[in-house]
Amino acid sequence: MRSLPATVVSNTLEGPLDWPDATVVRGDAVDVVTRLKEESEVPLRSHGSLSLNRALMAAGLVDLVQVTLFPVITGQTGSEPIFQGAADFDLELIGSRTLDGGSQELIYRPTLHV
């Protein structure tokens, strides 16, 4: 991951960052990602906060959702559903594979549920 260029959307951070080939961009994350999607031929990935990813999904900017399922149940230690308060989406499974240790990687195409 560190070998790929990164764009960090922040109104508080100042560059340079301690990350190779990272650029800090100020502004609204949805506006920044919209512009990046229009300008870039390279697929974008978001490893940002849950609120960022919720906002990108609500704006229709997410083409694929990659979910990794780990063989663990956190009934007592889990804190909250990650998409709590987000819109409803239908997910079309377009890929899957088993990783080491029995984890599953599932790739979905989201569509806003109407």
Residue located via tokens 């229009």? 38
Q: Locate 74 and state its tokens.
A: 């956190």
The CA distance from 58 to 75, in Å, is 28
The CA distance from 44 to 37, in Å, is 7
Sign of the torsion formed by the C-alpha atoms of 53, 54, 55 and 60 = positive
Show pLDDT as tens, one digit a residue, over the chain (114 residues).
788 888 999 999 987 888 888 999 999 999 999 999 999 888 888 886 788 888 999 999 999 999 888 887 777 777 777 777 788 899 999 999 999 888 999 999 999 888
Determine the number of helices (DSSP H) and then strands (DSSP E) in the chain.
2, 5
Residue located via tokens 């922040």? 10
